[in-house]
Amino acid sequence: MSLPLEGLSAVVTGAGRGLGRGEALELARLGAAVVVNDFGQPGRDGSGDASAAPAEEVAAEIRAAGGKALSHTGDVADFRQAGELVRLAIAEFGKLDVLVNNAGILRDRMVFSMTEEEWDSVIRVHLKGHFNTTHFAAAHWRERSKAAGGPVYGRIVNTSSEAFLAGSAGQPNYAAAKGGIVGLTTSTALALAKYGVTANAICPRARTRMTEDVFAGLEQPEDGLDPLAPEHVAPLVGYLASPAAARVNGQLLVVHGGMVAIVERPRVAAKFDSKQETFTYDELDTLLTPYYGERPSGETFAAAEVLGLKRA
C-alpha cells in the first residue's frame, strides 16, 4: 500500500525543534523525502551561535526510520540562503513538491517599549522568511508548469498564530508578522492556483521552546499525550501537503489538542449609509457611537472566543 506522500519531496523550515520537527517527521512518515532546515540558534529570540546539530539530528532520525532526509542550516530570512535551500531540495530529489514554513523567533515587548531592532528582527524571520522560500518555490512550480503545459503538484503550508486572531498585548511584532503571513498566504493561493499549487496557513497551539512561558501553568498529564504536544499539529500539516487536500486553498485553520477549526474570512458586522452626499462628523457620531456603546466590552474578540482561544 502506497503512502500519501510517496514520491514527493518537502522542505520544512525551523524543523530542528518543536513544531517543525514534528512536521518533518510526519511528512517523512507519510512517505515524503524531506530537507530539514534549521539555523540552529539556541535562543528563542534568535540569540546564540548557529549550529548544524538540530537539523541534522532530525534528518538522521528520519533516515534511521527508513526515510529520506538531509539537513540545511541556512537562514531563511536571508534571500540568497532561502534560494539555496529550495535549490538543494530540487537538486537532491529532482523537484520540490511541498514547502512548510515554520521558522520563527520571539522578541516580546509592549509597543511603547519595543525597539526598532526588536520589531525588525521578528518581522524579518517570520514574514520575510516565509516570503523568501515561497518566492523560490513558486518560481520553481511556475517553470515546471510552463514546461509541462499544465498544472503541477505544489503545496505550501504557512504558520500563522492565534496572536493574529485575538491580539497579543506584549507581541505587536509577532502578531503583525503572523497577520502578514495570512495575507501572504491568501495572495499566494490566488496567484498559484492556475499552476496546480495550493497555499494554506495554520494557527497551531503547542508546548514548544517558543511557548514555554505561555503554557508554564498548564502541567503535562502523567498518562497519555499532552494536549499541547506538537504531535497534535503535525497530522494537519501532513494532510494539507497531500493530494487529498487539492481543493483546500487559501484557508486558515486553527489546530491543537485534537481539534481543527476552519476560520472564516472577516464578515461585515454592520453597515451604515449616509443620508447625504458624504458623511459629516455629527452623522458618524450619531450612528457609530451608540453602536459601539451598546456592544459588550471585548466583543471584538468574539470570533476568537468561539474557537476557545485564549487572549494573550
Give catalytic residues, as residue numbers: 161, 174, 178
* Secondary structure (3-state) at 50: coil
Contact 210, 18 (CB under 8 A): yes
DSSP run (H or E) holding 91: helix 79-93
DSSP run (H or E) holding 259: strand 259-263
Phi, psi (rounded to 5 degrees) for 2 = -75, 155
Distance of CA 104 to the CA centre of its chain: 9
| Residue 17 to residue 55: CA distance in whole angstroms | 8
| Residue 229 to residue 220: CA distance in whole angstroms | 9
Cell of 111: 509597543
What b/e readout covers 166-189, taking b as 16+ CB neighbours within 10 angstroms?
Answer: bbbebbbbbbbbbbbbbebbbebb
| Residue 136 to residue 156: CA distance in whole angstroms | 12
Phi, psi (rounded to 5 degrees) for 125 = -70, -50
| Residue 90 to residue 226: CA distance in whole angstroms | 36
